Structure 1
Amino acid sequence: MQFTEIDQHQILAQGATLEQVDEQIQHFVDNFPFLPVIKAATVGDGLIRVDEQALAGIVAGFDQKAPALSLLKFVPASGAATRMFKSLFAALEGKTDKSVEEFFTRLSDFAFYDALKGVSGEPNQHVLSALLTEEGLDYGNLPKGLLLFHRYPEGPRTPVEEHLVEGAAYANSNGRVRIHFTVSPEHRSRFEDLIERVQPDYEARLGVTFEITFSEQKKSTDTISVNPDNTPFRNADGSLLFRPAGHGALIENLNDIDADVVFIKNIDNVVPDALKEPTITYKKVLGSILLDIQQQIFRFQEILGDDMISEGYLAELDEFLRVTLCILPPDGFDTWLQDEKVEYFRRKLDRPLRACGMVQNVGEPGGGPFWAKNADGSVSLQIVESAQIDLNNPEQKQIFDQATHFNPVDLVCALKNREGEKYNLPAYRDPQTGFITAKSKDGKELKAQELPGLWNGAMADWNTVFVEVPLITFNPVKTVNDLLRKEHQPG
């Protein structure tokens, strides 16, 4: 692609390179390939179900190791709440439906009701304006993390505060609790103000010391937009249009984190204290399984460092990869020379590791657990979004329909190698797993590009284990009326 000198200056100022932008445009031309899935990961076949009798011992194992570890809770929190209030924005324009009727019928059940009481007796339009616009609470423009979600006798809590309470329960190492929120630049000061206001109270109440940090999606991860004919889309002033590239861009933020174990969970997936116990238990279960498998990996890596490796050890290692890490070697592996097998084992072991919680599929959208074929011919566990699967292919569609579970963004990650050095996480991304979406600007159609998603393509080349977790651990708030569900109401 030929760019003008002004274009080139803009690209470099963006923090990108000409090569990266050319590659992005080529993705628009070629489109991203589908990911070939082999089968759904199900209980006993790629998905671990923990015996309830073993839960206490597994949790105790994590609690025993936690004091010696650097733990951190990573919360993507930049998502705007605008879509939560879609029906209410329509009602503001005079278009009502059953969800709007339910909203007003149960208005007093919302945690933000007291903040609206001054206008609650007024016509509905006044209530909506006070809730959604900057004349009042401005909820229509704020990120979800800053909204009042849950009621307590001592006062309502935001999702940010719920994550503080959660973090103190499982991301706690000797009373030190580190939590990192990724936020949008325009709202960062509001998050910082909230933390400054509530942190002392939660530290006193929970008996911990919080270390709260923030980061923003890096400008360098924005991707170029194109016209329908794949030529660069230009703004009215002739400049190139770059757009934020989705949550996959956060792999760069995660890469800046220095911790042994990182818990990842979305900002809106929180519950009141009365329902937190299963979440806390299974976060520790995921952490315990992760650390146990990491120790096994380290042991095998030590063996692979020896000059002479017995056939028995290689057979044991082969079984570990196939059974525990669910990595099947490429076709013809049995005919490989021993040196080739050893190199393959070394490469597969020396990668970041994650344990992913999976809940039973109840029709919610989200990536599912599958066995999928990799570029090197091996097969491994992947979180796969429906857009990555060729649903027009009857065989692929059948496999997709056989998925019994989905990923509620519940991950525990180990980001360091045997020597305690951080992995360079972007190096383990599959660049062929991005997405192309249709958008518009100034009344003109355009195509935008999202980077490989944080928990699917951005972690495609990680060692992965899937663990079944209870459905009660997944309670996202997609619409304002979700806050009326019993899981979000006082116990």
Structure 2
Amino acid sequence: MNIQLEQQILKQGMSVEKAKEQLKNFAEGFPFLPIVRAATIGDGIKVLTDDEIKNYQKTYPNRVKDKEVVKFVPASGAATRMFKDLYSFLDGDGDISKSKFVEKFIAELKKFAFYEDLDDSLRKVGSSIDDALARKDYKLIVSHLLQDFGLGYGNLPKGLLKFHRYADHQRTPAYEHLIEGITHSLGKDNVIRVHFTVSPEHEPKFKELISSIQPKLEKDHNVKFEVSYSQQKKSTDTIAVNMDNTPFVEDDGSVLFRPAGHGALLENLNDINADLIFIKNVDNEVPDKLKMTTLEYKVATGGLLLDIQDKVFAALRALDAGANESSISQAEKVITEVLGGILPEKYSNLNTTEKAAYLHGKLNRPLRICGMVKNTGEPGGGPFWVQDDDGSLSLQIAETAQIDLANPVHKAIFQSSTHFNPVDLVCATKDYKGRKFDLLQFRDMRTGFITEKSKSGRDLKALELPGLWNGSMAGWNTVFVEVPLITFNPVKTVNDLLRDEHQG
């Protein structure tokens, strides 16, 4: 590695050793995840009873009154992919009959929450939506939606787009997240803490939106919001390489570094100091009419996590008090019955001191409850039992790319999966002595991804860090809970906003 390259790496905020490790990953690739079987109902996935849900509705609000609760919302990605079909239409001849997607978009324009804003944009240039429709100038409408001379939606993050219409206002996902937070993130000092990870260029617009709605929400609901922001750290970007695994050098002589996927946000999460952290994707929000079930399960999973945490902490304190038959039995039950873990065969050969140390190490970790919905064919990760290095089995969320589908056994396991990861987590990141865990110590760096991209007409390979809820949390204690499918309503394309779930 030459001196010029090393200087660029250091300027990026990355160590030379880390860059060399990334180059090695490109050359050697990443191993597939050693899945053993899919997690299913009764075997890794818990179903809450009606009585449990009702109980947590009563107990959870009181239990979090003295706790710092944060709603963590990854919201930095641009919404460009939402409008893929509309961009293709703009590049074409303007004939909407060639695209069922565009036909539907135009035919149902009035159903979108941004309709009035779009009409206002057209009126500023002496037109209107009705005029453009009469002239069949559909490109004018689409361009005013996407381009910066209009609403600029193609260059904004999803969190700032108007998703839902109400009688007297419209709401963005960021707005909806604040509303949702009122019911389950109300913690210490009657404060609702919401944290958005945003891009630097979009942070001012997030702040402008929040400042415009926060006072009224605080007055109407008698609460106080603390909204904070962070940006993906440049030091988490990864080096890009040519197809022969040499660093990708741009025309100006600079080495290309690329954002490393949502796994880079582990550093942002690691900076959060809270007792409970709820994590949910920015676009998975519904209007008020459908919030009730979502909120019930938010409260229920939060309450379940606190109950489990109590048992984990009690077992750890018992082990601290002395390694004996009673404390070891208590810890074993927490691991196998409360957390649902499976101890390795070699465990039975350990002596009392060794068992106590092993159990302590297994219990003293970050804890998360992950909601899982029934698989309806959505692409993405799912819940699996995975073989750990020590021979034990742990529950992991695995992306499709992490599974060796060329292996008939693993392919059969993958196809037997019954549930899907909607990114619906509640996390506890402090230990039984109140100290914050260093979350970077609990990720599995062997679970990164290599993808193929292009830049300036040249092919390249890009490296993504272990996913935030995948390999970045591989060393956490995990409990999977089935949540209703109605709680999962992501917006992948603009026309998803036409679904009944997103209509007011």
TM-score by length of 2: 0.95
Which 4+ residue blocks in structure 1 deviate beyond 6 angstroms?
none
Match of 2:228 among 190, 200, 213: 213
Q: How does 1:40-439 map to 2 (within 5 A)?
A: 40-94=38-92, 96-117=98-119, 118=123, 119-121=128-130, 122=132, 123-173=137-187, 174-307=189-322, 309-439=323-453
- Tell me if structure 1 keeps the 8 A contact 2:380–2:420: yes
Distance, in Å, in 1 between the alignment partners of 2:312 and 2:434 is 14
Per-residue CA deviations over 1:453-480 (Å, capped at 9, x if unaligned) read 0001000000100011111110000000
Offset at residue 175 of structure 1 (A):
2.5
Distance, in Å, in 1 between the alignment partners of 2:221 and 2:11 is 45
Per-residue CA deviations over 1:40-71 (Å, capped at 9, x if unaligned) read 11111111101123311122121120101110
Distance, in Å, in 2 between the alignment partners of 1:330 and 1:449 is 33
* Range that drifts further, 188-197 or 90-99: 90-99
Tell me which amino acid in the other structure corresponds to 2:465: L
Distance, in Å, in 2 between the alignment partners of 1:323 and 1:392 is 34
Tell me which amino acid in the other structure corresponds to 1:227: N
- Tell me if structure 1 keeps the 8 A contact 2:373–2:484: yes
Offset at residue 22 of structure 1 (A):
0.6
Q: How does 1:14-33 map to 2 (within 5 A)?
A: 14-33=12-31
Match of 1:456 among 470, 473, 492: 470
Does the residue aligned with 1:413 lie in a helix, a strand or coil? Answer: strand
Offset at residue 198 of structure 1 (A):
1.6
Tell me which amino acid in the other structure corresponds to 2:463: Q
Tell me which amino acid in the other structure corresponds to 1:120: I
Tell me which amino acid in the other structure corresponds to 1:210: F
Tell me which amino acid in the other structure corresponds to 2:471: G
Gaps of 5+ in 1: none
Per-residue CA deviations over 1:242-290 (Å, capped at 9, x if unaligned) read 1000000000000000110000001000000111011111011110111
Distance, in Å, in 1 between the alignment partners of 2:180 and 2:249 is 45
Tell me which amino acid in the other structure corresponds to 1:49: V
Distance, in Å, in 2 between the alignment partners of 1:284 and 1:13 is 44
Does the residue aligned with 2:481 lie in a helix, a strand or coil? Answer: strand
Does the residue aligned with 2:60 lie in a helix, a strand or coil? Answer: helix
* Range that drifts further, 64-73 or 320-329: 320-329
Distance, in Å, in 2 between the alignment partners of 1:102 and 1:476 is 19
Distance, in Å, in 1 between the alignment partners of 2:313 and 2:327 is 14
Is residue 474 of structure 1 aligned with residue 488 of structure 2?
Answer: yes
- Tell me if structure 1 keeps the 8 A contact 2:241–2:462: yes
- Tell me if structure 1 keeps the 8 A contact 2:89–2:102: yes
Does the residue aligned with 2:376 lie in a helix, a strand or coil? Answer: coil
Offset at residue 319 of structure 1 (A):
2.8
Offset at residue 340 of structure 1 (A):
1.5
Distance, in Å, in 1 between the alignment partners of 2:350 and 2:27 is 38
Distance, in Å, in 2 between the alignment partners of 1:92 and 1:305 is 66
Aligned length: 487
Distance, in Å, in 1 between the alignment partners of 2:64 and 2:36 is 37
Distance, in Å, in 1 between the alignment partners of 2:64 and 2:475 is 26
Offset at residue 18 of structure 1 (A):
0.7
Distance, in Å, in 2 between the alignment partners of 1:53 and 1:421 is 33
Distance, in Å, in 2 between the alignment partners of 1:79 and 1:319 is 42
Offset at residue 125 of structure 1 (A):
1.0
Match of 1:34 among 32, 35, 40: 32
- Tell me if structure 1 keeps the 8 A contact 2:324–2:352: no
Does the residue aligned with 1:398 lie in a helix, a strand or coil? Answer: helix
Offset at residue 90 of structure 1 (A):
1.1
* Range that drifts further, 244-253 or 365-374: 365-374
Does the residue aligned with 2:78 lie in a helix, a strand or coil? Answer: coil
TM-score by length of 1: 0.97
Distance, in Å, in 2 between the alignment partners of 1:386 and 1:222 is 23
- Tell me if structure 1 keeps the 8 A contact 2:195–2:229: yes
